[in-house]
């Protein structure tokens, strides 16, 4: 089975050429993060991903997590790998230095997250959710809560979870029934059941800090009456040591399609008097606070999609280079060739490669704005970057994860029949990828967020600013004769996106049902065009580097491949844009017709 190898050359290109390192250097705490420093960190992370996490991916899938009498045991080798993960400092990359973190920019930590997910997504889910708990506590926790929980969560000594969903609620959080009753000393007794809680119970750390949505007595109905509580597995004494076991227990774990190494738990709170928890922030603002975690998680789930896509591509590429089958098209009587010589196999591999590189590049650019939206010293710059990041979060989450399913499926197709056999690993990539478009709000939920909160609410202003930037790139492409065809394809795709956005903005308030039919196609269109924006920026940069004549042989090959990949994406992916725009603008009548279903 092909082990994961981090795509270091492309990751370094993203940081060196596409990410605005000069802007990051102006943000508080990031001044020392140079391209050389970032490259060294990536190289060390690649060793851990390929040497430690990747070999556990298959065994974790086969063995899975195991529930026994309320306890959950991870697969063989996982506890040792997590111990080393923490000891090497990987849990604290983008965490605040005040609490022991390394305060690295999100653009760098996101690439490392991609490595963890490419190597072993089921393992990577645990630190990802812990990071969300850290952000919620950092932004809304009291000083006492921060002192109690953040140093240990940042260090990875404890892990965190996000407890939203209940059996009767699903994605409808207004239906949450978990109750919180004052217990004195500012604490509450929590009672209720939560489902689908990733790493809600495990044997990796001594404590688990649950972030739990619930309702206090007399709270308003619906989402306005939800509060957020910090409920540890073990109570924490005033000196920071662990006290008694809290009244929260894992009653079962799910038997899932994929990510078998990650325990997905059903948690019962308060079966023996009530789990003790603390209110985070103010009462009835829990959903607002939970969205701090959810937005961070949505971006990270998009990164999961990038990681799984890269792993599926690597597996398929290695097989295509080794598998000898049939003569090359048009060559009668010649020797059989590796299937990578066959045109359709090349087409599939390039679909995998080009879209994965587009997703990685777009996620890196968005990561800069995630940091600048928090840290830039000027108000107008913070607002501008935050608006761009908010616009792109549903795109990163929805487009990257939907792509990961398609890319992993293509990986099986490249393998042919043996791809359907578990030993190749290709099937696991598809099984693992399939949860990502569901996590943290399905693609439909992300798309509704995009058309409603991110486009209609501000009249499309943030999107128009982005489109203006895209058109500037298209103009630069048009000025380069060798890229003129790509420039034409990109301009047509931008026109299609602008047409679709205009339709949404003009019609959302008067015919929301019709606009909603096109929400997911619009999210896909947005991702395709935004990903093309970054690939074509990459092509312009590569053309300039080659023209400078200073590239060595290896670098020249990399830049030539970038140009070819961008050309393929223009012809095979950007070309989908006009058709998607048509379905967004005209597709409602057939979908909403009575009697069809």
Residue 174: predicted pLDDT = 66
Q: Is 582 exposed, middle or buried (0-12, 13-18, 19+ CB in 10 A)?
A: middle
Q: What is the mean pLDDT of residues 172-193?
A: 87
Letter string b/e over residues 158-189, b meaning 16 or more CB atoms within 10 A of that residue's CB: bbbbbbbbbeebeeebeebebbbeeeeeebbb
Q: Are 97 and 29 in contact (CB under 8 A)?
A: yes
Q: Which of 96-100, 278-282, 448-452 has the lowest mean pLDDT?
A: 96-100
DSSP 8-state code for residue 256: -
3-state secondary structure of 509: coil
**DSSP-assigned letters across all residues of 148-206:** HHHHHHHHTSEEEEEE---TTTTT-GGG---EEEEEETTEEEEEEEEEEEETSS-SSSS
Instruction: Please say whether the beta carbons of 583 and 549 come within 8 A.
Output: no
Q: What is the pLDDT of residue 13?
A: 97
Return the number of other C-beta atoms located less than 10 Å from residue 76's C-beta.
11
Residues with a known catalytic role = 440
Which string of b and e fits 238-254 if b means at least 16 CB within 10 Å?
A: eeeeeeeebbbbbeebb
- pLDDT for 170 equals 63
**Residues 108-153: tens digit of each pLDDT:** 999 999 999 999 999 999 999 999 999 999 989 999 999 999 999 9
**Residue 295: pLDDT band by 50, 70, 90 thresholds?**
confident
Handedness of CA 365, 85, 202, 115 (dihedral sign): positive
Per-residue pLDDT at 167: 86
Tens digits of residue pLDDT in 61-107: 999 999 999 999 999 999 999 999 999 999 988 888 899 999 999 99
Least confident of 166-175, 294-303, 498-507: 166-175
Position 330 confidence tier, pLDDT thresholds 50, 70, 90: confident
Q: What is the DSSP string of 345-382?
A: HHHHHHHHHHHHHHHHHHHHHHHHHHHHHHH-SSHHHH
Mean pLDDT throughout 437-462? 96
Kind of pairing between the strands at 275-279 and 71-73: unpaired
User: How many percent of the chain have pLDDT more than 70?
Assistant: 98
The whole-number average pLDDT for the span 340-367 is 98
Read off the pLDDT of residues 555-584 as tens digits, 9 standing for 90 and up: 899 999 999 999 999 999 999 999 999 999
| Residue 361 confidence (pLDDT) | 98
Question: What pLDDT, on the 0 to 100 scale, is given for residue 92?
Answer: 82
pLDDT at 245 over 90: yes
Res. 543: pLDDT tops 70? yes
> What was the pLDDT predicted at 331?
80
Q: Is the dihedral of CA 522, 287, 28, 131 positive or negative?
A: negative
Q: How confident is the model at residue 552 (pLDDT cuts 50, 70, 90)?
A: confident
CA distance 109 to 99: 17
Could you give the CA distance from residue 47 to residue 40 in angstroms, rounded to a whole number?
11
Structure confidence by residue, pLDDT tens digits, 469-485: 999 999 999 999 999 99
DSSP 68: E
The predicted structure's pLDDT at residue 329: 87
Residue 173's pLDDT is 66
How much is the average pLDDT of 423-448? Answer: 96
pTM for the full predicted model: 0.96
Question: What's the confidence (pLDDT) of residue 550?
Answer: 66
């Amino acid at each position: 089975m092909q082990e994961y190898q981090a795509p270091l050359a492309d990751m370094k290109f993203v940081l060196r050429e596409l990410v605005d390192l000069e802007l990051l250097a102006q943000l508080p705490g990031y001044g020392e993060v140079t391209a050389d420093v970032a490259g060294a960190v990536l190289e060390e992370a690649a060793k851990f991903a390929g040497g430690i996490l990747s070999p556990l991916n298959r065994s974790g899938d086969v063995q899975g997590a195991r529930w026994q009498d309320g306890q959950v045991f991870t697969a063989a080798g996982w506890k040792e790998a997590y111990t080393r993960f923490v000891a090497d400092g990987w849990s604290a990359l983008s965490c605040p230095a005040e609490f022991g973190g390394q305060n690295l920019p999100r653009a760098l930590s996101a690439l490392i997250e991609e490595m963890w997910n490419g190597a072993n997504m089921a393992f990577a889910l645990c630190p990802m959710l812990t990071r969300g708990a850290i952000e919620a506590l950092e932004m809304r926790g009291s000083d006492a809560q921060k002192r109690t929980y953040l140093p240990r969560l940042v260090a990875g000594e404890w892990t965190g979870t996000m407890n939203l969903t209940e059996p009767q609620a699903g994605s409808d959080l207004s239906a949450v029934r978990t109750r919180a009753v004052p217990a004195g000393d500012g604490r509450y007794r929590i009672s209720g059941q939560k489902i689908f809680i990733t790493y809600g119970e495990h044997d990796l750390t001594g404590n688990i800090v649950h972030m739990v949505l619930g309702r206090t007595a007399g709270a308003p109905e619906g989402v306005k009456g939800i509060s957020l509580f910090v409920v540890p597995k073990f109570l924490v004494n005033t000196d920071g040591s662990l006290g008694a076991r809290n009244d929260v227990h894992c009653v079962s774990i799910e038997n899932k399609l994929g990510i078998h190494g990650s325990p997905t738990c059903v948690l019962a709170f308060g079966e023996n008097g009530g789990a003790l928890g603390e209110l985070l922030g103010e009462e009835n603002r829990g959903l607002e606070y939970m969205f701090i975690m959810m937005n961070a998680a949505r971006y990270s789930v998009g990164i999961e999609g990038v990681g799984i896509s890269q792993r599926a591509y690597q597996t398929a590429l290695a097989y295509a280079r080794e598998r000898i089958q049939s003569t090359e098209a048009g060559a009668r009587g010649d020797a059989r060739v590796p299937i990578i010589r066959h045109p359709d196999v090349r087409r599939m591999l390039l679909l995998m490669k080009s879209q994965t590189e587009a997703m990685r590049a777009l996620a890196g650019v968005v990561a800069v704005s995630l940091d600048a939206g928090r840290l830039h010293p000027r108000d107008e710059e913070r607002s501008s970057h935050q608006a761009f990041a908010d616009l792109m979060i549903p795109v990163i989450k929805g487009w990257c994860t939907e792509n990961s399913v398609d890319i992993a499926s293509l990986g099986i197709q490249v393998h042919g029949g043996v791809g359907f056999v578990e030993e190749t690993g290709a099937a696991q990539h598809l099984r693992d990828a399939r949860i990502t478009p569901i996590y943290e709000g399905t693609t439909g939920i992300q798309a509704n967020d995009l058309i409603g909160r991110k486009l209609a609410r501000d009249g499309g202003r943030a999107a128009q600013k982005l489109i203006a930037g895209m058109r500037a790139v298209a103009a630069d492409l048009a000025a380069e004769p060798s890229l003129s065809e790509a420039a034409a394809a990109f301009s047509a795709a931008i026109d299609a996106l602008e047409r679709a956005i205009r339709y949404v903005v003009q019609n959302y308030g008067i015919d929301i049902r019709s606009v909603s039919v096109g929400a997911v196609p619009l999210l896909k269109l947005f991702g395709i065009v935004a990903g093309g924006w970054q690939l074509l920026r990459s092509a312009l940069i590569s053309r300039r580097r080659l023209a400078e004549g200073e590239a060595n042989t290896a670098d020249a090959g990399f830049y030539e491949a970038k140009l070819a990949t961008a050309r393929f994406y223009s012809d095979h992916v950007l070309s989908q844009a006009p058709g998607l725009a048509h379905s967004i603008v005209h597709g409602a009548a057939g979908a909403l017709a009575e009697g069809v279903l």
